[in-house]
Amino acid sequence: MIEYIANVDWMSVAPYIAVGFAAQLVDGALGMAFGVICSTLLVSVMGVAPARASAGVHFVEMFTTGASGISHVLHKNIDWKLFARIAIPGVIGGCTGAYLLASIHTEAARPFVMGYLTLIGFYLLYKAWGFSHEHKPRDPKVTMPLGLIGGFLDASGGGGWGPVVTSNLLIQGADPRKTIGTVNTAEFFLTVAVSMTFILTIGLEAFTVVTGGLLIGGLLAAPFGAIVAKRIHPRILLFAVSIVLIATSLFSLYKALA
């Protein structure tokens, strides 16, 4: 094991450690973007096949979301009733999406999803602009279908659980801090299920040194996201979520149409 570590070209792995760290810091604080950032890098820059990229990212997320979820639990950022309503359908949708991605091509729908998320981002930006200290969080009504769709899109597109689920829960008036913590924690169970599905369908060849770099960076950043989410004012969180969602969705839309 020590000999293997010594033989690793750390200079070539370092950029992926940095990407994993930055992506997880954003994801842990805002409830989205790890999968989108990493999948975009692997597919667009490295030329990795979508199924292998999604498998590798979800394998990393098994560990990063686990660490992030524990941190959110310790900081009391979880709405456990909401957690149950999104986690179970999310796992079902994720397994279905992983199986289809490993079997058939599902990229045709990606531009439509990215266009929808861009519009959601602008709507959240509008909501953040009018956010006041008197804002009272509301219990979101549409949750189970949201979890199902979010899980499916996350597995089939290599990312999307956070952008789809977090943004739509916020639109329904959910508390930003609790939403981010709950969605992050539920994502752990989603990524475990999706990773197991990929292993059963395409094997272990998707997990490379690049995956290891993303894993190291993600684990280093995971404890800090919950601290950021807890201490930042909800209005600022809404602004940050909307800007990240708009930026990542527009870039993914550009890559999908290019």
The residue that leads in pLDDT, 190 or 49, is 190
Confidence (pLDDT) at 83: 93
Give me the percent of the chain exceeding a pLDDT of 90: 7
Q: What average pLDDT does the segment 205-223 reach?
A: 76
Average pLDDT score over the chain? 76
For residue 122, how many other CB atoms are within 10 A of its CB?
13
The residue that leads in pLDDT, 208 or 60, is 60
Q: 3-class SS at 132?
A: coil
Lowest mean pLDDT among 80-84, 104-108, 192-196: 104-108
Six token digits for residue 135: 């804002």
Per-residue pLDDT for 6 more than 70? no
Report d(CA 62, CA 68) in Å as an integer.
Answer: 10
The residue that leads in pLDDT, 24 or 241, is 24
Confidence (pLDDT) at 91: 92
The residue that leads in pLDDT, 1 or 51, is 51
Six token digits for residue 243: 């800007």
Six token digits for residue 131: 């956010």
Six token digits for residue 159: 């990312």
Lowest mean pLDDT among 140-144, 147-151, 218-222, 248-252: 248-252
**Where exactly are the structural domains of the chain?**
13-257
The residue that leads in pLDDT, 16 or 92, is 92
Six token digits for residue 215: 């894993």
Lowest mean pLDDT among 56-60, 64-68, 178-182, 201-205: 201-205
User: Burial code of 210-240, b = ≥16 C-beta within 10 A, e = fewer?
Assistant: bbbbbbbbbbbbbbbbbbbbbebebbebbbb
Per-residue pLDDT for 49 more than 70? no
Q: Any idea what DSSP says for residue 77?
A: -
- Contact between residue 181 and residue 78 where contact means Cβ atoms under 8 Å apart: yes
Q: What average pLDDT does the segment 120-132 reach?
A: 70
Q: Any idea what DSSP says for residue 139?
A: -
The residue that leads in pLDDT, 76 or 34, is 76
List, for residues 62-104, the tens digit of each pLDDT value: 887 888 888 888 888 889 999 999 999 999 998 888 777 666 6
Confidence (pLDDT) at 89: 93
